[in-house]
Structure formats: C-alpha cells, structure tokens
C-alpha cells in the first residue's frame, strides 16, 4: 500500500525527507515534463517514490499517484526511465477511467535515483536549496535510457544560462533540444522564508498557515509574554533581541518577506528600520493607512527611502474580520509578491 507523506510538494521538502534515506531504499523521481490543457500540476512538478511504498509530493490532485507508484516499481526493477501519458479526455485512458475531471493531458517521466547516476544530482540540488541558492535543474527526457541530470546555480553559471536563453524566462520549466537530446530545464528556488514581527495572539494563525504552505517561519518579539514556544510550536525559530538588532540575527539574514504586527508603533518603527538592509520581496504592516504613516514618521523614513515598498494595510481585501481571515488575506498578498519576485529573478 502506498503511504503518502504529510510534507508539502515543494522539492526542498521532498529532498529533506529523501536525503537521510537515500541509500536505505530504492528511489524513483517522477517529473511532469509537459502538459496539454487543464492539469492540476504544471511542468517541473516533482515527486519521489521509494521501494517501501512511500510517496513524497504530488504529480496530480491525488488521482494518478497509485498508478504511478506501480510504474515506479517497474523503473526500480529495470533501472531504465519510462515516460507516461495520462489523457483525461480519452475514454480508453486510465486517467479517464479513474474519473478525473481535469480533461487535460499530462506527460510524466520516471527516473531511478541511484549512486551510479549520481543520485540525479539531487544531493547538489538539496545542498544548494538549503543554503538558499536558486538555479536550474536539467533532466534528460528519454524513454528506456539510464537517467541523467545536473544542477546549475544562477550565481556560478549566470553567463551560460543567459546564453541558453533561460534567464528572464517566465516559464518555470521548459523542454529544450541540445545535442540531439531532449532536456527538461526547471527553475528551482528555496522554500520562502517569512519573518513575523510580533508574537501576539493574531500572529498564531498566520504562522500556522505559513507552515502549512511549507514556508520557513521566524518569529520575533522582545516582550517576555509574547512569542512563547507553546503558542508557536511550528515556528522554525523564535528570536528576542532588541528591535534595532533584528537584522543582525543569522535567522533573518536570508528572509524573503516580513510581516510587521507587533501592535506597538515604536517597535514596528524600529523593526522597519532594521529591515532596510535586507533585500525583501514583501513587507506588510498591520493596521490602517494612518497608522502606516505614523510608523514611517516614527522610523524617520519616507516613501522614497524605503528599500521595499511597505504594504499597509497588509493583505488583500477579502472582507476579513477574524485573525484567521486576516492571516489568509496577508499571506495571499505575500505569496503573490514572492512569486512575482521569482519571475523577475
């Protein structure tokens, strides 16, 4: 029986589960490399299967995974890659017979992950994502062959990636033909890292939701009564330094987004000042427009001096009233900003 894990489908989380067990079981990497029409997952989506029936991630909405697991066992046996096609509009296709309503066509490749093929370079991918490097993952898309893959991070291969027309592309994954071989090239980024300024009651659902999405979450609050571990069990780290020193903490150096919600004008202003040294995709400030103005004035900042525009009131208007609804509103806006930044990168 297949065992689906509770981790999110972000590749970094899949690899976190895989890495310590990579030599204990046989593994197969499943990747969506092409789609036609409406499909739940898009090209570049990945999933891992092992020889004891565990599944990490999703390649569909949960409809195809049991069938893919059977085919993955075949790949483990032969060591050869296979390509699969599931057509939701074809009455004779297994996906149609399973009652899948998407109606699209999804193409998947299954590739064995072994020491002999350098684990498809997934160790390198994992190590780079952990240190928050972004890059491109290259996979051969050939049926019946021994799988090959490689990683090129943006920092070290910028000119080469630019020459190949990959930098600046809005496509997360694309098929290219190089030296008479088909490759899927997928742009990979680390899990988003969110810093929450303020550990009050209303921050709890926000942190919980961000963790459900698989984000790394750091919570800051210097007040002893706030940000207690028992109220934020899922937070990756809780820090309590003075507000003026937040940016000096190692956990904060590589955050992608900040939500300021301490409910204290001075603390918010000090925290906002601390954030000016960071390259952020999103800064959200809880409270109405006039409060945003007061925080900026207290911080001695102007609109022009802000390194990242401050969204205040934070969130999109979904007519939210309760902490959970406000958290949903803020995280939706934050998510949009993060993925807009990814496209720009």
The tens digit of pLDDT for each residue in 174-187 reads: 998 887 889 999 99
Query: For the segment 197-242, what is each residue's pLDDT rounded down to a tens digit?
Result: 999 999 999 999 999 999 999 999 999 889 899 999 999 999 999 9
The answer to whether residues 30 and 173 belong to one domain is: yes
The answer to whether residues 181 and 207 belong to one domain is: no
The answer to whether residues 97 and 149 belong to one domain is: yes
Q: Is the pLDDT of residue 132 over 80?
A: yes
The answer to whether residues 169 and 53 belong to one domain is: yes
**Mean pLDDT for the stretch of residues 294-319:** 95
**Cis peptide bond prior to 25, omega within 30° of 0:** no
Closest CA to 238 of 217, 259, 268: 217
The answer to whether residues 109 and 52 belong to one domain is: yes
The rounded distance, in Å, linking the Cα atoms of 68 and 54 is 12
The rounded distance, in Å, linking the Cα atoms of 201 and 331 is 16
Positions of E strands within the chain? 3-4, 27-36, 46-50, 54-57, 82-87, 105-113, 135-140, 149-153, 173-178, 181-188, 193-197, 216-220, 237-239, 257-260, 282-285, 310-311
Residue where a domain stops, chosen among 170, 188, 206: 188
User: For the whole model, what pTM was predicted?
Assistant: 0.88
Residue where a domain stops, chosen among 188, 215, 233: 188
The pLDDT value given to residue 104: 85
The pLDDT value given to residue 40: 86
Cα–Cα distances (Å) from 135 to 9, 13, 94, 166, 222, in that order, read 18, 16, 35, 10, 36
Structural domain boundaries enclosing 50: 3-188
The answer to whether residues 96 and 118 belong to one domain is: yes
Q: How confident is the model at residue 165 (pLDDT cuts 50, 70, 90)?
A: low
Domains of the chain: total: 2
The answer to whether residues 261 and 142 belong to one domain is: no
């Amino acid at each position: 029986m297949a065992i689906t894990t509770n981790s999110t489908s972000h590749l970094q989380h899949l690899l976190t589960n895989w890495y310590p067990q990579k030599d204990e079981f046989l593994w197969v990497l499943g990747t969506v490399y092409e789609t036609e029409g409406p499909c739940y997952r898009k090209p570049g989506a990945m999933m891992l299967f092992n020889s004891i029936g565990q599944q990490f991630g999703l390649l569909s909405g949960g409809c195809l995974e049991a069938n893919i697991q059977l085919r993955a066992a075949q790949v483990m046996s032969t060591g050869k890659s296979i390509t699969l096609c599931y057509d939701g509009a074809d009455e004779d296709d297994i996906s149609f017979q399973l009652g899948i309503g998407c109606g699209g066509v999804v193409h998947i490749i299954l590739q064995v992950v072994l020491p002999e093929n350098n684990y498809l370079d997934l160790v390198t991918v994992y190590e780079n994502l952990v240190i928050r490097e972004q890059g491109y993952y290259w996979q051969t898309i050939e049926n019946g062959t021994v799988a090959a893959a490689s990683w090129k991070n943006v920092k070290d291969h910028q000119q080469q990636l630019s020459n190949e027309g990959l930098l600046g592309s809005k496509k997360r994954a694309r098929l290219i033909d190089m030296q008479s071989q088909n490759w899927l090239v997928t742009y990979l980024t680390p899990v988003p890292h969110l810093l929450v300024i303020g550990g009050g009651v209303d921050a709890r659902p926000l942190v919980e939701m961000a963790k459900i999405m698989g984000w790394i979450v750091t919570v800051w609050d210097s007040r002893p009564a706030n940000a207690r571990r028992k109220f934020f069990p899922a937070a990756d780290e809780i820090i309590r330094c003075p507000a003026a020193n937040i940016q000096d903490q190692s956990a904060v150096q590589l955050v992608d987004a900040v939500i300021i919600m301490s409910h204290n004008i001075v603390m918010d202003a000090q925290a906002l000042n601390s954030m000016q040294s960071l390259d952020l995709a999103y800064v959200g400030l809880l409270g109405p427009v006039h409060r945003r103005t007061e925080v900026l004035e207290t911080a001695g900042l102007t609109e022009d001096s802000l390194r990242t525009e401050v969204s205040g009131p934070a969130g999109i208007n979904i007519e939210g009233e309760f902490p959970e609804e406000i958290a949903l509103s803020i995280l939706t806006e934050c998510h949009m900003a993060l993925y807009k930044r990814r496209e720009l990168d």
